[in-house]
């Protein structure tokens, strides 16, 4: 067995020889009083949550100068810059109306005000969003809006980001004048019954062209539609399928930049390896 103070684990060994195996893993760790105190504090201290709870945040300053050009809606009150936890993320907290409908209207007006005052920051993602998912607020700072919280102050994440924009970004907004459902930034979008899919595709292709993507002519069928969008070394597919649901026929639209995007990148790499072909 091990020496005094060592931990020994016994496990089944060779049944034919009726033996047991042993593993000695060394002596238990002896902590100093300071190490024990730090461990106790780490267990007892409640971890910082994000999006932040203002009751657990510390106000570290006024609204940053990079947001001085934003015309905040009358129903929105910027509270200042807050920090979550010890050295945690920072956020600009906004006080919005408590009423659900008024809160949603104030949030949309806030996003419109941010889009009018700040340039969008493209981070390489694709998705459907009624507004930009990130803004360049200062030379080394980015503003990342979170999804609308049902109550309490609304956070706008204030993060260091000195890097340039990432190529391959594609944001498509819901088609104007049509009803839709989906989370901002998601690659899935549901169009309500009676939607004009051709008009929606025309809207999306125009937006893609503004962002430097070229498109193939869309293929429309009775219950499906498809097109591809290209940039040098990038490819995304925009497709739609018609579903009959309890409330009517809806178009489910997807924006995907997966395996085809990988192949598009290899097309611009002279040394890309040839796959191992198999015969059927």
Q: Roughly how many angstroms between the first and final C-alpha of the chain, as a whole number?
A: 60
Please, which pLDDT band fits residue 271 given cuts at 50, 70 and 90?
Answer: confident
CA distances for 88 relative to 51, 92, 94, 157, 171, angstroms = 11, 13, 18, 11, 29
The answer to whether position 174 is within a domain reads yes
Cβ atoms of residues 90 and 51 within 8 Å: no
The answer to whether position 127 is within a domain reads yes
The answer to whether position 278 is within a domain reads no
153 shares a domain with 86: yes
The answer to whether position 276 is within a domain reads no
* pLDDT at residue 30 in the model: 54
Beta bridge partners of 157: 91, 144
Within 8 A by CB and 6+ apart from 176, the residues are 203
Tell me the pLDDT tens digit for each residue of 70-84.
999 999 999 999 887
Average pLDDT along the chain: 80
* pLDDT at residue 175 in the model: 92
For residue 20, pLDDT beyond 50: no
* pLDDT at residue 19 in the model: 46
Tell me the pLDDT tens digit for each residue of 29-78.
555 666 666 655 554 554 445 455 666 778 888 999 999 999 999 999 99
For residue 23, pLDDT beyond 50: no
- Residue found under tokens 């956070």: 155
Give the alpha-carbon dihedral of 200, 201, 204, 205, to 10 degrees: -150
- Per the structure, the count of domains in the chain is 3
59 shares a domain with 40: no
- Report which DSSP code applies to 63: S
For residue 118, pLDDT beyond 80: yes
Supply angle C-alpha 212, 215, 218, rounded to 5: 155
Please, which pLDDT band fits residue 9 given cuts at 50, 70 and 90?
Answer: very low
* pLDDT at residue 35 in the model: 61
Once rounded to an integer, what is the mean pLDDT over residues 186-204? Answer: 93
178 shares a domain with 134: no
Q: The whole model's pTM is what?
A: 0.64
149 shares a domain with 60: yes
Nearest CA to 143 among 60, 59, 67, 51? 67
CA distances for 174 relative to 68, 82, 183, 254, angstroms = 29, 32, 11, 12
Once rounded to an integer, what is the mean pLDDT over residues 123-145? Answer: 83
User: What is the domain extent for residue 231?
Assistant: 170-267
């Amino acid at each position: 067995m091990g020496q005094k103070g060592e931990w020994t684990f016994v496990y089944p060994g060779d049944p034919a020889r009726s033996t047991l195996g042993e593993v000695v893993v060394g002596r238990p760790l002896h902590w100093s009083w300071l190490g024990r105190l730090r461990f106790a504090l780490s267990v007892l201290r409640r971890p910082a949550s994000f999006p932040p709870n203002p009751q657990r945040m510390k106000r570290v300053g006024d609204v940053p100068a990079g947001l001085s050009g934003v015309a905040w809606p009358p129903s929105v009150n910027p509270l200042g810059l807050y920090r979550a936890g010890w050295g945690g993320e920072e956020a600009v907290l906004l006080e919005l109306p408590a009423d659900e409908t008024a809160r949603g209207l104030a949030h949309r007006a806030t996003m419109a005000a941010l889009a009018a005052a700040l340039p969008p920051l493209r981070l390489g993602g694709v998705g459907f969003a009624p507004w930009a998912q990130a803004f360049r607020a200062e030379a080394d700072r980015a503003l990342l809006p979170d999804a609308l919280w049902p109550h309490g102050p609304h956070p706008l994440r204030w993060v260091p980001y000195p890097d340039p924009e990432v190529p391959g970004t594609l944001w498509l907004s819901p088609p104007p004048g049509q009803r839709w459902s989906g989370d901002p930034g998601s690659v899935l979008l549901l169009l309500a019954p009676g939607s004009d899919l051709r008009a929606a595709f025309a809207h999306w292709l125009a937006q893609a062209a503004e962002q430097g993507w070229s498109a193939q002519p869309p293929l429309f069928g009775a219950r499906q539609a498809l097109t591809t969008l290209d940039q040098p070394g990038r490819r995304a597919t925009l497709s739609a399928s018609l579903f009959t649901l309890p409330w009517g026929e809806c178009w489910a639209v997807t924006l995907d930049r997966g395996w085809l995007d990988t192949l598009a990148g290899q097309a611009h790499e002279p040394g890309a390896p040839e796959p191992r072909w198999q015969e059927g």
